[in-house]
Amino acid sequence: MNPIRYISTRGTQPPLSFFDAVMTGLARDGGLLIPDRIPNVTEQLRDWEDLDYPSLAFEIMRLFADEPGDARLRELIAAAYATFEHPEIAPIRKVGGLHVLELFHGPTLAFKDIALQFLGRLFEEILEERDARLNILAATSGDTGSAAIAGVRGQPRIHIFVMHPHGRVSPLQERQMTSVLDANVFNLAVKGSFDDCQLIMKTLFRDLPFKDAYALGSVNSVNWSRVLSQIVYYFHAALRVRAETGADQVQFAVPTGNFGDILAGWYAKRMGLPVRRLILATNENDILARFFNTGTYARGAVVPSINPSMDIQVASNFERWLYYKVERDPQAVSRLMTQFAREGRMEIPRDVRGRVDVEIVAGSSDTKHTLETIRRYHETHNYLLDPHTAAGIYVAEQYNELDDPMICLATAHPAKFPEAIATATGQDLAHHPILDAFGQAPTRCEVVDNNVEAVRAYLAARAR
């Protein structure tokens, strides 16, 4: 069978190889790159049950990546996950009646490390092979920035420019990014929201002469490699929990803002992983929860919260899901996304039961319920949740009426949010040696205006 190639959700980007898709990031027609087919792995599931995490990652990634070759792919995966402090990479803890998938044992203590430790090494491999340079432009609502920086800091062929919303990430998240003083790392605090940062990034990527002149690349979840890496932990968790419980199917509860994390679960289900349903959890910025409950995707004002990585009103990866929803019609995708850009809303038909998607259900957790969930799980189970994971678990509890095991994604170490933990528990419990070391570290960051030209000028003056 021919290797998978990558096409755009908007239809006019010529098909790309895996390496070219990684380097392109956002498709040149403004769409997102997706595989031209989704492999079915139902027959391989039994053989994968006893694989360790790196071996499972290899088996899944090789289906989508014919480059750099099997032996080298194994080496890159092994190097990426050797940076994790837990031998299982993503251990699963039984907490009450739930299974908690801990995705925060990487170097920056957030689930983004799972993808970005691999992507950083993949960039290095491609650039070395092509004797090329890359300027990464990233937008972060908190954790992507530090994970991306950790993946590429010090690499001689890469400069990375990370935008975060000024004053809207947690103090620890900000210090974790801005205390990295390597010469190839640049932090920009944009006077706006994460959505503003994301819009600036996409605008510059769509300026093709500028993108080409400055060799722009992306580490945000618009880069297909991010989604691919995250597919792996759905298989890892589902196979482990099924073996432990004897269940035929599992459920996943996923706190999400940009829709990339839950999209990876959706792809895993399409590949044949026995997942009954995916439970999408948002905070007060509930555009995705409202959409899956009403069929209306409508942008609102961003509300700052205690779980800042979910403070998003325009979810980038939504377009990938939309492509399949409209029967893989790129013209329909382009029409709907243009309408959304112009009017701030779009409508998707629901089925006779009023559902947008039978595979995804959705809910939201506000600050009150998130804090209460943190307190309750600490008191009842002696288990500390970060605010994003707590939001996911609160919503999971609203949908836990089925017998299928519930796997809840724990997306960040609680020590990244000490203020929220202290508010919820009344105690100073949220610590980790990596984060405690940032307390007195010097930082470097530049505050910039919330407009494309300010960022363009900053990048042009410092790019490779």
Active site residues: 112
Helix (H, G, I), strand (E, B) or coil at 419: helix
Chain Cα centroid distance, residue 60: 18
Phi, psi of 222 (to 5 degrees): -65, -20
Closest CA to 9 of 317, 262, 419, 246: 317
Q: How many CB atoms lie within 10 A of CB 433?
A: 7
* Sequence-ordered list of residues with C-beta below 8 angstroms from that of 46, at least 6 positions apart, any chain: none
In angstroms, rounded to a whole number, what is the distance separating the alpha carbons of residues 279 and 407? 10
The tokens 């609160």 sit on which residue? 394
Q: How far apart are CA 49 and CA 61, in angstroms?
A: 16
Q: What is the DSSP string of 139-205?
A: E-SSHHHHHHHHHHTT-TTEEEEEEEETT-S-HHHHHHHHT---TTEEEEEESS-HHHHHHHHHHHH
State the Cα–Cα distance between residues 393 and 281, nearest whole angstrom.
8
First to last CA, the chain: 39
Residue type for position 30: G
DSSP β-bridge partners for residue 277:
251
Rounded CA separation 44/235 (Å): 11
Q: What tokens appear for 188 in the block?
A: 């920009």
CB 285 within 8 A of CB 303: yes
**CA–CA dist 52, 50 (Å, integer):** 7
Q: Which residues pair with 251 in a beta bridge?
A: 277, 406
